[in-house]
Structure 1
Amino acid sequence: MDIANNIEKIREEFPILSRLAYMNSAAHGPTLRRVHDATEQWWAHRMNEAQVENPDALGEAAKMLSCRREELCYVNRVTQGLNMVADMMPLERGDNIVVTDLGYPSNVFVWFPYREKGVEIRRIRHEDGLISTEDFEKAVDDRTKVVSISRVEWTSGLRYDMKALSGVAHEHGAYLVDDSYQAMGPVEIDLHDSGVDFFTAGSEKWMCCPAMTGVFYIREGIWDDFEPSYRYYGNVEEAFASGAPWEKPDHDNHASYLKPLYRDARKHYRGCVSEEFHWGYHAALEYFNELGSASIEKRTAELSQYLIEGLKEQPVKVNTPEEPCERGALVTYNTGSFKKNQEIFDALKKEGIVVAHRYAAGVGGLRVSCHFFNTYEEIDRLLALQKKLL
Structure 2
Amino acid sequence: MNLEQIRKDTPLHKKYSYINTAAASPPPQQVVDAMTDYLQKTASLGPYLPAFRKEIYVKVDEIRGKVAEFIGASSKEIAFSKNGTEAINFIVNGLKWNEGDEVILADLEFHSNFVPWLKLQSEGKIKLKVLKTDKSGVISVQELEKMINPNTRMITVSHLPNASGALQPVEEICKVAKKHNVLTLINASQTLGLVPIDVKKLDCDFLAACGRKWLRGPEGSGILYIREELIDYIEPTLIGWGGTVWDFDTNEFSYLPIAKRVEAGCPVIPSILGLGAAVDYAWAIGIESIYQRVKDLTEYTVKQLSTIPGISIYGPEDIKNRLAIIPFNVKGLTPERITEFLEENHIIIEAGTFMANTMLQQYRINKMARFSPHYFNTKEEIERAVDLIKTLIRKEGQQ
TM-score (norm 2): 0.86
CA distance in 1, matches of 2:251, 2:276: 30
* Structure 1 counterpart of 2:372, from 359, 369, 372: 369
Q: How does 1:51-90 map to 2 (within 5 A)?
A: 51-52=51-52, 53-54=55-56, 55=59, 56-90=62-96
CA distance in 2, matches of 1:257, 1:292: 49
| 1:329 and 2:324 aligned | yes
1:220 is displaced (CA, Å) by 1.8
CA distance in 2, matches of 1:346, 1:66: 41
Partner of 1:26: 22
Partner of 1:17: 13
Contact kept in structure 1, 2:244 and 2:254, CA below 8 Å: yes
Contact kept in structure 1, 2:166 and 2:323, CA below 8 Å: yes
* Structure 1 counterpart of 2:291, from 269, 282, 297: 297
Moved more, 364-373 or 296-305: 364-373
1:284 is displaced (CA, Å) by 1.1
Contact kept in structure 2, 1:75 and 1:270, CA below 8 Å: no
Partner of 2:131: 124
Structure 2 SS opposite 1:362: helix
Contact kept in structure 2, 1:236 and 1:257, CA below 8 Å: no
* Structure 1 counterpart of 2:302, from 308, 314, 317: 308
| 1:343 and 2:337 aligned | yes
CA distance in 2, matches of 1:336, 1:59: 50
Partner of 2:383: 380
Amino acid at match of 1:147: I
Amino acid at match of 1:37: D
CA distance in 2, matches of 1:28, 1:118: 34
Contact kept in structure 1, 2:95 and 2:233, CA below 8 Å: no
**Percentage identity across paired residues of the two chains:** 25
1:346 is displaced (CA, Å) by 1.8
| 1:177 and 2:185 aligned | yes
Q: How does 1:207-218 map to 2 (within 5 A)?
A: 207-218=215-226
> Residue 13 and residue 322 in structure 1: after superposition, are their counterparts in 2 closer, same or farther (change >3 A)?
farther
Partner of 1:245: none
Contact kept in structure 2, 1:233 and 1:257, CA below 8 Å: no
Q: How does 1:92-131 map to 2 (within 5 A)?
A: 92-115=98-121, 116-117=123-124, 119-130=126-137, 131=139
Aligned length: 371
Moved more, 195-204 or 308-317: 308-317
| 1:163 and 2:171 aligned | yes
TM-score (norm 1): 0.88
CA distance in 1, matches of 2:351, 2:157: 22
CA distance in 2, matches of 1:122, 1:331: 28
* Structure 1 counterpart of 2:312, from 313, 317, 334: 317
1:319 is displaced (CA, Å) by 2.2
Partner of 1:249: none
Contact kept in structure 1, 2:95 and 2:235, CA below 8 Å: no
CA distance in 2, matches of 1:121, 1:370: 34
Q: How does 1:230-245 map to 2 (within 5 A)?
A: 230-236=238-244
> Residue 341 and residue 96 in structure 1: after superposition, are their counterparts in 2 closer, same or farther (change >3 A)?
same
